[in-house]
Amino acid sequence: MAIRRVPIENLSEPGHRPIFLRGEEDSTLPKNKVYVDPTTGRVLSGQRGDKLRHLLGREIELPLTTWYLDRDRLGDEIREVQRILGPDFQLYMDDEKGLSSWESFFWMGHHPGGPHVIRASYSPLHPLEQMRISTIPDDLDTHHRLGDGSLCYLKPQEWSPDWTAATALGQAIRFLTDYYEGRV
């Protein structure tokens, strides 16, 4: 059995709560929490299957609901997409997932000058994880795919929490333009 704790020097950080978890090194972290490393911005989550052994001891534990939908940010993202990409891209919501989570929302719009519709889906941990990008139809002949079949439009370590849907869609449009022109 492994026990992890936060080093004492981290206890002075505002809002920090020490983390005490018990379990085997290969135990999956709790699914109702996220663990954020304040020095690197790295996020661990039991929903993604992260393990107890991945904790370094300086993470801040937060309830997953803290990461649920920030309506002000969503409003800012809607205005930014409309300003940059215009009315071709629209925001949709999956009614079955409800209004409380980022993963309920996704963008769809036609690639300017290309035959595909681009779908950009929010991660449940948005903005800490990159958006999932796919095309309709899903017929691109490329090795630039992630394990879930979505497009690898950027390296995961390049994603920044400052990025918005407009940033992700812009990267996806650039990737697809390169694909159409034979550069990918």
Tell me: the pLDDT tens digits for 26-78?
A: 888 887 777 877 677 677 888 778 888 888 877 877 766 544 567 778 888 88
- Dihedral-angle region of residue 103 (phi above 0 means left; psi in -120 to 50 means alpha; beta otherwise): alpha
Using alpha carbons only, what angle is made at residue 151 by residues 147 and 155, rounded to the nearest 5 degrees?
80
pLDDT band for position 119 (50/70/90)? very high
19 close to 35: Cβ distance less than 8 angstroms: yes
Q: How far apart are CA 152 and CA 139, in angstroms?
A: 14
Using alpha carbons only, what angle is made at residue 161 by residues 159 and 101, rounded to the nearest 5 degrees?
110
Q: How far apart are CA 125 and CA 132, in angstroms?
A: 12
pLDDT confidence of residue 173: 94
**156 Cβ neighbours under 8 A, 6+ residues apart:** 130
Please state the domain extents for the chain.
2-67, 71-180
Give pTM, 2 decimals: 0.65
The encoded tokens of residue 73 equal 């940010």
Tell me: the pLDDT tens digits for 137-162?
A: 988 888 898 878 899 988 878 888 88
Give CATH superfamily name and number for 71-180. Ubiquitin Conjugating Enzyme (3.10.110.10)
